[in-house]
Amino acid sequence: MNLLYFLRLVRWPNLLIILFLHLLIAFQLPFVAFSDTLFWCMTGGTILIAGAGNIINDLLDYELDIVNKPARVIIHRFVSHQVAWNYYFGLNILALAAAVAIQNNFLIIVFLLAILLLGAYAFWLKKSLLLGNLVVSLLCAWILVNFWWLYYPALSVLWQSTLLFFASFAFGATWARELLKDLEDAKGDELYHAKTVPIVWGKNNTLLLTQIILFCVLVVLLVLALFLYTCTLYWAIAYTLLILIPSLLYLMLRIHKLSRLSVVAPTDYHVCSSYLKWYFLLGICCLFFI
């Protein structure tokens, strides 16, 4: 199989964001060495499982993707069904083997749960009301919770709070993005009788829920700025107030404009969901100043 198609199948930009997040936190925490086996097992396992989750998602959504995004379909066109399944199982087995090799029961349990949840998402939850969105959002936030849990005894109060703040940020930003992706895919989802939020509640109610979630993210950022002020981290405060909050307000305004239109093209939702992905990366960069 061509390496390029494999990288597209596992969504390599998303995996790079996961790697960047892990490396950034490890760089900022003095007690996490880049020679730390636990760190690399957690990082590598998370990337492998996320890649496998993307593969099974494409495998089971082939018919939907033909309707929603035909130009981006890889399964059956460039990668055979059997080869994709082999890669799915292979990546998950490698992640579990790494956790077993270092004999870390917490990682073994977390990796197993992540694999099962991503499988359940692809098979059932993606087409359900809210549950699929919440599972993906929880798993995204859990990347930061892993650090909080595994390194808790060595974490300062500053970093204990910071990781929880950014876990909340990741949860909200991912949930909003998942709703926008559902809006983008509503045509195909409706044909296959999915029960996603846009189909059950309609476009305007979905956009309203997205706005409410983003408002909650805004509140998290304001509380974070106040917390950073008490810690005298002025560069981090400036980054939050001058970059993160204005960027979020711009997106909220753009979504509000979409809610006033009677007809919205799927590409408009795609632009907003892509913006949110890169906004998530922008938010992570705040850790540089902590």
Helix (H, G, I), strand (E, B) or coil at 20: helix
pLDDT confidence of residue 161: 95
Say what the pTM is: 0.93
pLDDT confidence of residue 1: 54
Regions of the chain where pLDDT drops below 50: none
DSSP 110-163: HHHHHHHHHHHHHHTGGGSSSHHHHHHHHHHHHHHHHHHHHTGGG--HHHHHHH
pLDDT in tens, 152-175: 888 999 999 999 999 999 999 999
pLDDT in tens, 93-103: 999 999 999 99
pLDDT confidence of residue 71: 74
Token readout for 201 is 């509640």
Cα(37)–Cα(40) distance, integer angstroms: 5
